[in-house]
């Protein structure tokens, strides 16, 4: 993507997650991070926040587009983390799950 922006002369790559490592962009190309929900809390967007909560989320949940993330509780506290990681590796990953460890 940065090469496309560079070919256009300059540009910004917008992301909804922060960088998780070093990034090397060509001159004139930069990365802009902003959580998608951040503008919802700006005063001038008050109606947009209401729409997201009252209409968009309801609509998405009804149609199955927005689902609750599965939670797997890891037993054994910190000592149980190794077992949870081994399970992740042996099962090929854990797409769409959240692991909770009681400490």
State whether 73 and 99 are in the same domain. Answer: yes
- 6, 18: one domain: yes
Question: 23 φ, ψ to 5°?
Answer: -125, 135
What domain range includes position 53?
40-66
Residues 53 and 75 both lie in one domain: no
Query: Both 99 and 76 in a single domain?
Result: yes
- Tell me, yes or no, whether 61 and 75 share the same domain: no
Q: What is the pTM of this model?
A: 0.41
In this predicted structure, what is the pLDDT of residue 6? 66
Q: What is the mean pLDDT of residues 28-42?
A: 80
Specify whether 80 is located in the same domain as 97.
yes
What is the token pair recorded at 19?
A: 């960088």
Q: What is the pLDDT of residues 3-21, one digit of tens each?
A: 666 677 777 777 777 777 7
43-100 pLDDT, tens digit each = 998 899 899 889 999 999 999 988 887 888 888 888 888 888 888 888 777 667 788 8
Q: What is the largest CA-CA distance in the chain?
A: 54
In this structure, is the dihedral angle defined by the CA atoms of residues 11, 17, 19 and 23, taken in order, positive or negative?
Answer: negative
């Amino acid at each position: 993507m940065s090469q496309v922006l560079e070919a256009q002369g300059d540009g910004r790559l917008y992301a909804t997650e922060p960088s998780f490592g070093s990034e090397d962009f060509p001159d004139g190309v930069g990365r802009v991070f902003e959580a998608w929900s951040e503008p919802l809390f700006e005063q001038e967007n008050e109606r947009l926040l209401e729409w997201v909560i009252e209409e968009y989320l309801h609509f998405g949940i009804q149609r199955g587009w927005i689902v609750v993330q599965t939670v797997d509780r890891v037993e054994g506290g910190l000592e149980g983390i190794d077992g949870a990681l081994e399970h992740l590796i042996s099962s090929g990953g854990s797409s769409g799950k959240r692991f909770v460890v009681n400490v």
